[in-house]
Chains A and B, each alone.
Chain A
Amino acid sequence: QKEVEQNSGPLSVPEGAIASLNCTYSDQGSQSFFWYRQYSGKSPELIMFIYSNGDKEDGRFTAQLNKASQYVSLLIRDSQPSDSATYLCAVGKVSGGYNKLIFGAGTRLAVHP
């Protein structure tokens, strides 16, 4: 079982719709969760981070965390073609007393006009 799992997609949504991206993780002790957006050939860009169960909203983005189900999601409202990218879920892990992030394989989102 992979430590962080995402559906590779592509997830195709029409412009203006809500895109829902999902991520599950295996380490019950994980405390921190991140969503990054990566355009082709570019570096990952931080979108959201969440530490506590529930929802966290920032503009058109909402991160949702359910630690009991080991599940984290990202909702993108009013999707735009410029949102078309790969979305990486990352989970914080303590290793040898130090913190590091484990990335999922990413979900490719395609927003069509």
Chain B
Amino acid sequence: DTEVTQTPKHLVMGMTNKKSLKCEQHMGHRAMYWYKQKAKKPPELMFVYSYEKLSINESVPSRFSPECPNSSLLNLHLHALQPEDSALYLCASSQNRGQNNSPLHFGNGTRLTVT
């Protein structure tokens, strides 16, 4: 069981659709992350929110739009995606703790297929 909850678990969408991925954590963490993982590849960082402010955007295309409504919630809005965007999308959270990075705690992920 994970303390970071992602919905939906699976999503199939067409290239003209608009959909959203949701993530929720109740660990009191103040940093939240979106990662993208293709098959047999490591997770790739997309966005980092720290204290509900976007702090890192790894040059992600604008068809991906993150939102952090409060310290427990993180959304990823999807619009006009391409088939190559099909992947496992992982949400994670961590404490903000000085110089040393805190461990990331991952949700179970959303398996996205773009048709």
Contact = CB atoms under 8 A, between A and B. Distances in A.
Interface string B87-115: 01010000010011111111111000000
Contact of B100 (A88, A92, A106): A92
Contacts of B50: 98
Interface residues of B, number: 26
Given A49-B103, A51-B100, A105-B42, A42 B108 contact: yes
B100 A31 contact: yes
A46 interface: yes
Interface of A, helix, strand, loop or mixed by DSSP: strand
Interface residues of A, number: 26
B56 interface: yes
A28 interface: no
B25 to A, nearest CB: 13
Contacts of B56: 95-96, 98, 100
B112 to A, nearest CB: 14
Nearest to B4: A43
Interface in A39-83: 42-46, 49, 51
Contacts of B101: 31-32, 34, 92-93, 99-101
Nearest to A104: B42
Contact of B106 (A43, A51, A99): A43
Interface of B: 2, 31, 33, 41-45, 48, 50, 55-56, 88, 90, 96, 99-109
Interface of A: 31-32, 34, 36, 42-46, 49, 51, 88, 90, 92-93, 95-96, 98-106
